[in-house]
Amino acid sequence: MASPQTGERLKVVTALASVYILWSSTYLAIRIAIESIPPFMMAGLRFFISGWVVYAFLRATGVKAPEAREWAAGALVGFLLLLVGNGGVVYAEQWVASSLAALGVATVPLWTVLFFGFWGKWPSRLEWVGVALGFAGVVLLNLEGDFRAHPAGALAILVATIGWSLGSAWGRRLPLPKGLMAAAVQMISGGFFFFVLSFLWGEPMPEAISVRSGAALFYLIVFGAIIGFSAYTWLINNVRASLATSYAYVNPVFAVLIGVAAAGEKITGAGLGAMAAITAAVMLVVFGGGKAKQSD
C-alpha cells in the first residue's frame, strides 16, 4: 500500500504536470478562440461554464455549499486572478503573439514573492537576484516587435501578471472554500465579471463562431479551466507559492515551440534573450526560497 506521503507527492506531481503541460497550450488556444468570439465574452463563457461544471460535480459528491463569506473571498480572488490576470492576457493576444504573451506571464513568480513580503515573508538574497534579473528580462522582452508596435498589449500583460500574483498571494490569507470548491467559486465569479465587462465594453454578439474558435473554446473550458485552473488552485493552497507558480518558467518554452510549430509565429533574438533571462530568474526564485527572511 502506498504511504500517505507517497499519495501527497503523487497529487503534487499530477497537479504540476497539469499546469506545466496544459497551460503551455492555452495561450495559442486563446488566440484561436478570439478569432470569432469577442475576447471578454469568450473568457466569460470559458470560466462561467467551467465553474458551474466543477460546482455541480462537487455538490453531487456531497461537498457542502460555500458560506457567504467564502463566496465573497472567492469573488475577490476570482476578480484578481481571472478578470485582471487572465483578462489582461486575453486582451493583449488580440495583437501580441501567444508565445510572447507566455513570456510576459513568466514573471508571475517574481511578483508573487514580492507580494508575499507584505505578509511577512521577504525574499532571500538569491530571490532578490532573481527578481532583478527577471525585470531585466521584461525590459528586453519589450524590445520585441509586437510589444513595441502595441504598447497597450504590453501594458495589459504587465497588469495581468500583477493581478494574478496579488490574487495568488492574498488568496492564501482569505477564508476561501476548501479544496476544489475554491476553484469553482473563483471561476463562477470570474466568469460573471467577464460578462459584465463584455457588456460595458460594448462587445457585439458574434454573427457566427468558426469551428476553429469553437474547438479552442471547448479546449479552454475542459483542459485550461476545469483541469488546469482547478489544479493550480489546489497547488497554491497546498504547496510553497514558488513551487505552485513554477509553471511560469516551463510554459514559455513550450508555448514558444507550439506557437512556432502550429501557428507560424516568429520570435527574434530579443525574445530568446528575454526567455533565457526570465527562465533563469524564476529558477533562482523557485530554488532560492529556502532562506527567505521573515519580517518583524
Helix, strand, coil distribution of the chain in percent, nearest 5 = 75, 0, 20
pLDDT confidence bin for 126, thresholds 50/70/90: confident
CA distance 136 to 134: 5
- Has residue 16 been placed in a domain? no
Residue with more model confidence, 295 or 234: 234
pLDDT of amino acid 273: 79
pLDDT of amino acid 147: 64
- Has residue 182 been placed in a domain? yes
Burial category of 178 from C-beta neighbours within 10 Å (exposed 0-12, middle 13-18, buried 19 and up) = exposed
pLDDT confidence bin for 256, thresholds 50/70/90: confident
pLDDT confidence bin for 289, thresholds 50/70/90: low
For 65, 67, 78, the CA distances from 73, given in Å and listed in that order, are 14, 10, 8
Is the distance from CB of 249 to CB of 278 less than 8 angstroms?
yes
pLDDT confidence bin for 295, thresholds 50/70/90: very low
Q: Report whether pLDDT(292) > 50.
A: no
Domains in the chain, number: 1
- Has residue 67 been placed in a domain? yes
Q: Angle, to 10 degrees, between the axis of helix 269-287 and the axis of helix 247-263?
A: 150
Q: Report whether pLDDT(88) > 80.
A: yes
Q: Report whether pLDDT(153) > 90.
A: no
pLDDT of amino acid 14: 92
pLDDT of amino acid 268: 72
Work out the angle at residue 78's Cα, subtended by the Cα atoms of residues 67 and 235, and round it to the nearest 5 degrees. 90
- Has residue 123 been placed in a domain? yes
pLDDT confidence bin for 294, thresholds 50/70/90: very low
pLDDT confidence bin for 296, thresholds 50/70/90: very low
Q: Report whether pLDDT(127) > 60.
A: yes
- Has residue 65 been placed in a domain? yes
Domain that holds residue 66: 21-294
Instruction: Check: pTM over 0.75? Answer yes or no.
Output: yes
pLDDT of amino acid 206: 92
- Has residue 4 been placed in a domain? no
- Has residue 241 been placed in a domain? yes
Q: Angle, to 10 degrees, between the axis of helix 108-117 and the axis of helix 269-287?
A: 40
Report, as an integer, the average pLDDT of 134-156.
72
For 122, 138, 221, the CA distances from 29, given in Å and listed in that order, are 36, 23, 11
**Cβ partners under 8 Å of residue 280, min gap 6:** 130, 133
pLDDT for 59-80, tens place per residue?
Answer: 999 999 999 999 999 999 999 9
Residue with more model confidence, 53 or 154: 53
Closest CA to 112 of 276, 270, 281: 281
pLDDT for 191-249, tens place per residue?
Answer: 999 999 999 999 999 989 999 999 999 999 999 999 999 999 999 888 877 778 778 77
C-alpha R_g of the chain: 18
pLDDT for 155-201, tens place per residue?
Answer: 898 899 999 999 988 998 899 999 899 999 999 999 999 999 999 99
Compute the mean pLDDT over every residue in the chain, rounded to the nearest whole number: 85
- Has residue 196 been placed in a domain? yes
Report, as an integer, the average pLDDT of 96-104.
75
pLDDT confidence bin for 251, thresholds 50/70/90: confident
Listing DSSP states for 244-285 in one string gives HTTHHHHHHHHHHHHHHHHH-----HHHHHHHHHHHHHHHHH
106 DSSP assignment: T
pLDDT of amino acid 286: 67
> How many Cβ atoms from other residues are within 10 Å of residue 115's Cβ?
17
CA torsion 84-89-92-96 (nearest 10°) is 160
Is the distance from CB of 229 to CB of 180 less than 8 angstroms?
no
Q: What percent of the chain has pLDDT over 90?
A: 47
> How many Cβ atoms from other residues are within 10 Å of residue 64's Cβ?
10
pLDDT of amino acid 247: 80
